[in-house]
């Protein structure tokens, strides 16, 4: 690591900047669709009964719009995670963020014509964007852990990068507030607002592209070294211990995302029960921004706790606590149906707990559970399972509510969280410190370069 001319410091800063902005991009592009859709279904910033939407939503959009970005994300997580190990993190980051830029700009600039055409273009664009955003999950985590001399430092850097998902989820609603103030209630204002909200998702991805290209190109290893790297990767992929661990990382993340995205999708129903239906766009933005602020505080709390207890304990404890809050919310709905602000307080505490503990832990767990040769691949498999859970939560709970009611939704959510805690407890290793890391993973970390080393190929583990 060059420390004399400042190049090493610049490179280190770049390595922290890229994962941070990648995580911001992930959540901005997931969250912006919600407020953009609310804008499209308004007329001159007015919503509610009797308001004719500027862009009426076809029935097929209601059925697939929520899931199409997750389908794209699963594809991106699987392909980009593998490519990160195969061709290098830097090259894969360029590809995945190019897809994000393409999807965001296409949804804003190509969506013209009648409402059906507009929704069709946005849907296709969201699939492309989902591939790019999904690829950022494993690549940003692997990038954050790159060249860290210890597991604890890798956890710290990955968690700091993950923090920016909180501001990313909040920013679309803050931008929505700005647009509601800046653009007057006039003809065509809806078109400008939703296009700015969707198109702005290209900006953080462009920043990642720029920063990634500023780094020195990854040198192609010599033939013999390339063969060693390929052999190490092949052996790691065939190691049954890694696939056993994958059940824990993927299974825990799956159950968490069922609960998490089910809660996010179902929150408007609870908020409508508390505050009444027909909220204005400003009300939606303000309430969502408040919940996003709780998410940021929760993530900061989780980062502090992670260094003390490790990701496994954070997952088990957080999901268990979430199951208890869902149970408490179920009891209030049955026994104290008029205590609306108590319901809102429980909903806020649920957001805090989900963001503070399992949300952070499930992202960090694959970083410390798998060796560098296959870290991106297994993180991609884990996050892909998570997004399958997100699809299940987004599609399942509205159907359950329609047929069985709110109580059934809350009961299922409690069971889902308890199941995630059980999977984490059984299949994951405790990692409060480096002594608890499996020997093969610990060995791969011990071979990493130290400060001041003259390094040519930092990720070739010497296993020959």
Q: What is the pLDDT of residues 342-388, one digit of tens each?
A: 888 888 888 889 888 898 899 899 988 888 888 888 999 999 999 89
pLDDT at 463 over 60: no
Q: What is the mean pLDDT of residues 292-309?
A: 85
Q: Vertex 119, ends 116 and 122: CA angle to 5°?
A: 150
Average pLDDT over residues 256-268: 77
| pLDDT-wise least confident of 152-161, 322-331, 361-370 | 152-161
Whole-Å CA distances, 264 to 62, 258, 364: 16, 10, 22
The pLDDT value given to residue 269: 61
User: For 278-301, what is the mean pLDDT?
Assistant: 78
Q: Report pLDDT for 200.
A: 95
Spell out the domains of the chain, with CATH numbers in brackets: 16-43+55-214+240-433 (1.20.1250.20)
Closest CA to 265 of 417, 395, 372, 164: 395
pLDDT, mean of residues 22-37: 88
Report percent pLDDT > 90 for the chain.
Answer: 28
Task: Assess whether pLDDT exceeds 50 at residue 163.
Answer: yes
Mean pLDDT, residues 37-63: 77
Q: Does the pLDDT at position 13 exceed 60?
A: no
Lowest mean pLDDT among 11-20, 35-44, 254-263, 400-409: 11-20
pLDDT band per the 50, 70, 90 thresholds, residue 145: confident
Report, as an integer, the average pLDDT of 2-21. 60
In contact, 374 and 85? CB cutoff 8 Å:
yes
Tens-digit pLDDT profile for residues 217-236 = 654 444 445 666 677 777 87
Q: 146 versus 134: which is more confidently predicted?
A: 134
Supply the pLDDT for residue 229: 67
| Residue 184 pLDDT | 66
pLDDT of residue 95: 94
Instruction: State the average pLDDT for the chain.
Output: 80
DSSP state of 46: B
pLDDT surpasses 60 at 461: no
Residue 126 has pLDDT above 60, yes or no: yes
Give 445 or 1, the one with higher predicted confidence: 445
Q: How far apart are CA 16 and CA 147, in angstroms?
A: 11
Closest CA to 166 of 30, 307, 317, 15: 30
What's the gap between Cα 223 and its chain centre?
37
- Residue 415, pLDDT score: 95
Cα angle 282, 286, 291; round to 5: 150
Q: Which of 100, 173, 111, 166 is nearest to 134 (CA)?
A: 100
Tens of pLDDT along 443-455? 544 444 444 444 3
> What's the pLDDT tens digit per position in 392-406?
887 777 778 778 877
């Amino acid at each position: 690591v060059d420390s004399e001319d400042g190049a090493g410091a610049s490179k280190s800063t770049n390595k922290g900047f890229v994962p941070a902005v990648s995580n911001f991009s992930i959540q901005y592009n997931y969250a912006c669709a919600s407020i953009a859709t609310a804008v499209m279904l308004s007329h001159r910033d007015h919503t509610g009964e009797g308001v004719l939407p500027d862009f009426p939503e076809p029935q097929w959009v209601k059925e697939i719009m929520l899931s199409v970005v997750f389908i794209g994300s699963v594809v991106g997580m699987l392909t980009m995670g593998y490519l990160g190990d195969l061709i290098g993190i830097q090259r894969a980051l360029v590809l995945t963020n190019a897809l994000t830029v393409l999807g965001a700009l296409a949804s804003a600039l190509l969506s013209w014509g009648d409402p059906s055409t507009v929704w069709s273009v946005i849907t296709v664009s969201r699939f492309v964007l989902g591939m790019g955003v999904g690829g950022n999950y494993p690549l940003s985590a692997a990038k954050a852990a790159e060249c860290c001399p210890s597991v604890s430092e890798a956890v710290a850097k990955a968690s700091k990068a993950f923090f920016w998902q909180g501001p990313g989820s909040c920013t679309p609603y803050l931008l929505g507030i700005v647009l509601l103030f800046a653009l007057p209630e006039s003809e065509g204002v809806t078109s400008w607002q939703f296009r700015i909200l969707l198109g702005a998702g290209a900006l953080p991805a462009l920043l990642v592209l720029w920063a990634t290209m500023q780094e020195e190109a990854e040198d192609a290893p010599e033939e013999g070294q390339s063969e060693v790297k390929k052999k190490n990767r092949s052996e790691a992929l065939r190691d049954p211990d890694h696939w056993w661990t994958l059940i824990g990382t993927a299974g825990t993340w799956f159950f968490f995302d069922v609960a998490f995205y089910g809660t996010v999708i179902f929150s408007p129903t609870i908020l409508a029960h508390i505050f009444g239906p027909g909220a204005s766009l400003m009300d939606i933005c303000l309430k969502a921004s408040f919940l996003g602020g709780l998410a940021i505080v929760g993530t900061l709390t989780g980062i502090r706790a992670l260094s003390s207890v490790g990701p496994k304990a954070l997952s088990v404890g957080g999901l268990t606590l979430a199951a208890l809050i869902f149970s408490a919310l179920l009891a209030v709905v049955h026994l104290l149906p008029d205590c609306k602000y108590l319901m809102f307080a429980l909903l806020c505490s649920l957001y805090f707990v989900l963001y503070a503990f399992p949300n952070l832990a499930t992202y960090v767990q694959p970083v410390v559970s798998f060796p560098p040769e296959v870290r991106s691949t297994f993180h991609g498999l884990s996050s892909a399972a998570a997004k399958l859970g997100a699809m299940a939560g987004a599609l399942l709970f509205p159907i359950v509510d329609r047929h069985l009611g709110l109580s059934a939704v809350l009961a299922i959510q409690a069971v889902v969280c308890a199941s995630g805690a059980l999977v984490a407890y059984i299949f994951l290793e405790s990692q409060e410190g480096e002594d608890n890391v499996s020997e093969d993973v610990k060995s791969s970390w011990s071979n990493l370069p130290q400060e001041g080393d003259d390094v040519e190929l930092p990720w070739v583990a010497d296993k020959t």
